[in-house]
Amino acid sequence: MDSTEGALRVAGRSFTPTELQVVTQLVADGQGVSRTQLMDRVCRRLEWRRATGSLKIRECRDLLERLERDGGLQLPPKRRTGRPPGSRTRVPRTARGEPGAPLVGTVGQFGRLTLEPVEDDADHGWFRELVGRYHYLGYRVPFGAHLRYLAFVSQPRRVVVAALQVSSPAWRLAVRDHWIGWDEATRRRQLQQVVNHSRFVVLPWVRVRNLASRLLSILARQLPVDWQAGYGVTPLLLETMVDASRFRGTCYRAANWLALGETTGRGRMDRHHRRHGAAPKQVLVYPLVADAARRLRDG
């Protein structure tokens, strides 16, 4: 979020002083309603929507909280039911999440491999459990836009073998931004066409050669369609960050991802540069179109 020439810029949109006055008045007139209801009113009044027509509720929350921090308005108290993005959550432990029978072999031995979007509440809980129990970082509420997938093989019977999540990209990532050739204004404008592969766990009882790289290839083919359907944006680039102290990123390289270098190690939430070098990660990207860098750079 940045302020330029009297306007406030949030999530790629600049708000004029007149629009900010409208927002302030809507909040002042909305005493007694929830934050979610206020976000809905603001989005509708300002016509702040995705290409699909859905309201940009998450982005509106960032705007309102920024204005509150700056002293421009006072929001209703937060309800205790929701969890902020990035927070670690308690995950369920059910029979569905217990280790299954070992699967050992090569990917061609287990029939059709599919990625299925997580859509209903039961599968959402299953996804949370698998990631929370078996990914070394656990399950956290994702930042911004996101999609989740469960991966299945079909033989000798249909069973889950992995869980994947994609979400909003890192706001700034020096090696990625240098590779693309972005200036600041272009990065802000084009960032929504980058998607972060933020979670990937092959379940520990699944030891199937070439499974991970095959799943990455399927994701690269399927994601543009799914992201366009969900958010009205066709992504041009996938990115991920691999902890090199734990993993070599072999499956990404086998799936033709490009290694660009390392992060500074600050992490997404370290805006005051207090953790520089604390946990650097390897940055890899996968162009979803042949001229991804040029299209991201030139708009």
What pLDDT sits at residue 73? 81
E strand or H helix at 240: strand 237-242
Domain ranges within the chain, ordered by starting residue: 2-69, 95-298
Band of pLDDT at residue 273, cut at 50, 70 and 90: very low
Query: Could you give the CA distance from residue 183 to residue 161 in angstroms, rounded to a whole number?
Result: 41
- Helix or strand or coil: residue 18? helix
Which pair of tokens denotes residue 219? 């994701």
pTM value is 0.71
CATH homologous superfamily of 95-298 equals: Gcn5-related N-acetyltransferase (GNAT) (3.40.630.30)
Per mean pLDDT, which of 79-83, 148-152, 190-194 is the most reliable? 148-152
Q: How does residue 271 score in pLDDT terms, banded at 50, 70 and 90?
A: very low
Asked if residue 224 has a cis previous peptide bond (ω within 30° of 0), the answer is no
**Cβ–Cβ under 8 Å, residues 102 and 207:** yes
DSSP state at residue 291? T
Residue 269: predicted pLDDT: 43
Rg (alpha carbons) of the chain, rounded to whole number:
21
In this prediction, residue 79 has a pLDDT band, given cuts at 50, 70 and 90, of low
Residue 132 has pLDDT above 50, yes or no: yes
- As a whole number, the mean pLDDT across the chain is 85
Contact between residue 238 and residue 223 where contact means Cβ atoms under 8 Å apart:
yes
166 CB-contact burial (10 Å; exposed 0-12 / middle 13-18 / buried 19+): buried
